[in-house]
């Protein structure tokens, strides 16, 4: 009888701990915001890379070093360039 009670108490504690863990994981998973997308200024382009290419380079030199020996070239990331153009202030002269 005593062993049965201990087993029930242990099962209840384990169940409560599991539910608490599930609740914490649910709250932590749903409360995080979206990741910030970062656009880098240079894209590696060429055959097999596509357009606009692999756009994860902070400098032209970094991009060129990565593409050297692979017949690839670097260009300005159009999303980065267009995004900077959009952020400029426009004044309405009426």
Q: What is the pLDDT of residue 43?
A: 94
Greater confidence (4 vs 52) lies with: 52
Q: What is the pLDDT of residues 20-76, one digit of tens each?
A: 888 777 766 665 566 566 789 999 999 888 888 899 999 999 999 999 998 899 999
Please answer whether residues 57 and 40 qualify as being in contact, where contact means their C-beta atoms are separated by less than 8 angstroms: yes
Please answer whether residues 60 and 21 qualify as being in contact, where contact means their C-beta atoms are separated by less than 8 angstroms: no
Domain with 60 in it = 42-87
Whether residue 20 sits in one domain with residue 50:
no
Whether residue 81 sits in one domain with residue 53:
yes
Whether residue 25 sits in one domain with residue 51:
no
pTM value surpassing 0.75: no
Whether residue 83 sits in one domain with residue 48:
yes
Distance of alpha carbon 42 from alpha carbon 25, whole angstroms = 38
Q: Please tell me the total count of domains within the chain.
A: 2
Whether residue 46 sits in one domain with residue 83:
yes
Strand partners, 43: 75
Distance of alpha carbon 61 from alpha carbon 42, whole angstroms = 10
In a domain, 67, yes or no: yes
In a domain, 93, yes or no: no
Is residue 14 scored above 90 in pLDDT?
no
In a domain, 6, yes or no: yes
Q: What is the pLDDT of residues 72-94, one digit of tens each?
A: 999 999 888 887 665 555 566 66
């Amino acid at each position: 009888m005593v062993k049965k009670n201990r087993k029930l108490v242990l099962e209840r504690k384990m169940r409560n701990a599991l539910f608490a863990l599930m609740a914490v994981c649910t709250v932590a998973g749903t409360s995080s915001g979206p990741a910030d997308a970062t656009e880098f200024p240079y894209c590696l382009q060429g055959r097999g890379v596509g357009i606009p290419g692999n756009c994860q380079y902070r400098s032209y030199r970094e991009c060129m070093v990565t593409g050297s020996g692979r017949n690839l070239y670097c260009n300005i990331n159009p999303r980065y360039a267009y995004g900077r153009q959009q952020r400029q202030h426009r004044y309405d002269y009426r």
